[in-house]
């Protein structure tokens, strides 16, 4: 695994792990765990943008059928209330219960390890929905989501 680093992202350094895919509109990382289950977690850039988590409620339960843009979780941060929606249709297969309520504060430090939900979706064409780590970085640098302004320095380092 290697990390891509975007320096000076709102005054901070952001890491992007190339083992994940990314969903730019919600700043989520995506990991396919097999059996067509896609786990979603908050990217490092997403963590920086919310400036800290306070509380989270799940809007779905295991076994529930969901469509694109259905609510997954409601998050209270120090900046706003956020409704995180699903980028894919499918069946909710996993929920990371330890993030429920104030447990969401774990994401302030463990954003690359802790997922929010896992969704089973068959036959998904990931290239039409998600970005690679390099594409996510480029989108941040271009300001596609009003993030990581011009002049940011980028470097890759292997772990």
In the chain the domains, ranked by start, together with CATH numbers, are 2-158 (2.40.50.100)
What would the pLDDT profile of 88-115 be if each residue is shown by its tens digit?
A: 999 999 999 999 999 999 998 899 899 9
Alpha-carbon gap, residue 61 to 142, rounded angstroms: 36
CA pair distance 141, 143, nearest whole angstrom: 5
Q: How far is residue 7 from each of residues 37, 98, 136, 141, 146, measured CA to CA in Å?
A: 32, 31, 14, 10, 16
Predicted local distance difference test score (pLDDT) of residue 1: 65
User: Of all helices (H) and strands (E), which one includes residue 135?
Assistant: helix 133-142
Given a cut of 80, whether residue 68 has pLDDT beyond it is: yes
100-159: per-residue pLDDT in tens? Answer: 999 999 998 899 899 999 999 988 999 999 999 999 988 888 777 643 333 333 333 333
C-alpha–C-alpha distance, residues 20 and 64, integer Å: 25
Beta-carbon-side half-sphere exposure of residue 1 (alpha carbons within 13 Å): 11
């Amino acid at each position: 695994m290697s990390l891509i680093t975007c320096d000076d992202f709102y005054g901070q350094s952001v890491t992007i792990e190339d083992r994940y895919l990314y969903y730019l509109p919600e700043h989520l990382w995506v990991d396919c765990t097999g059996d067509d289950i896609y786990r979603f977690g908050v990217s490092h850039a997403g963590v920086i943008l919310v400036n800290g988590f306070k509380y989270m409620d799940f809007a779905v339960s295991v076994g529930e059928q969901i469509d694109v843009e259905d609510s997954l979780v409601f998050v209270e941060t120090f900046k706003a209330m956020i409704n995180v929606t699903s980028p894919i249709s499918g069946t909710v297969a996993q929920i990371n219960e330890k993030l429920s309520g104030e447990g969401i504060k774990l994401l302030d430090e463990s954003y690359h390890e802790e997922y929010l939900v896992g969704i089973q979706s068959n036959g998904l064409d990931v290239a039409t929905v998600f970005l690679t780590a390099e594409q996510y970085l480029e989108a941040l640098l271009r300001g596609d989501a009003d993030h990581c302004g011009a002049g940011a320095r980028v470097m890759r380092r292997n772990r």
